[in-house]
């Protein structure tokens, strides 16, 4: 009987190892996009922001206009410029009246600045860089 017990134990151990080995391995956590604050500016009228660096090349501009002097006549225009050459790269936002919005920009990583043209409204603008990572448990 000792050999039968050994065979049974070996089979039981083999079944246990097989069951553990055949389990689905845990799925790795999916990468998620987050947003890192870069800068925030506010004012009235035209302005140029400080230079800011975007390493990923992807960023968003959140803007808001308020306190319109003459209803329907206030304007906001946000142009993204290369801070190295000074040349305009993309019109990121254009709005008439009061409101808020988010505009997304995809460019090569570099230094940027914004040129803000505004008439008849107060404005606030913030820039956030896209960052990709895996959440920690």
Instruction: Render pLDDT for 90-113 as a digit per residue (tens, 0 to 9).
Output: 999 999 999 999 999 999 999 999
Q: CA end-to-end span of the chain, whole Å?
A: 51
Please state the pTM of the whole predicted model: 0.75
Percent above pLDDT 70 for the chain: 79
Q: Which residues pair with 41 in a beta bridge?
A: 125
Q: Which residue has the tokens 């946000």?
A: 78
Separation between Cα atoms, residue 135 and residue 132, nearest integer Å? 10
Q: Are 52 and 41 in contact (CB under 8 A)?
A: no
CATH architecture of 32-133: Sandwich (2.60)
Q: What is the pLDDT of residue 1?
A: 47
**Where are the strands (E) in the chain, listed by range?**
32-44, 47-48, 52-54, 58-66, 75-82, 88-96, 99-106, 110-119, 122-133
pLDDT digits (tens, 9 = 90+) for 38-77: 999 999 999 999 999 999 999 999 999 999 999 889 999 9
């Amino acid at each position: 009987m000792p050999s039968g017990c050994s065979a049974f134990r070996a089979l039981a151990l083999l079944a246990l190892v097989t069951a553990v080995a055949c389990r689905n391995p845990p799925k790795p956590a999916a990468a998620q996009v987050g947003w890192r604050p870069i800068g925030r500016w506010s004012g009235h009228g035209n302005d140029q922001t400080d230079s800011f660096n975007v390493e990923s090349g992807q960023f968003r501009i959140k803007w808001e206009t308020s306190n319109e002097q003459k209803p329907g006549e206030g304007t906001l225009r946000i142009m993204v410029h290369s801070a190295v050459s000074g040349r305009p790269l993309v019109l990121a936002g254009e709005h008439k009246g009061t409101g808020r919005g988010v505009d997304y920009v995809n460019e090569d990583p570099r230094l940027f600045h914004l040129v803000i043209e505004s008439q008849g409204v107060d404005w606030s603008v913030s820039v956030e860089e896209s960052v990709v990572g895996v959440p920690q448990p």
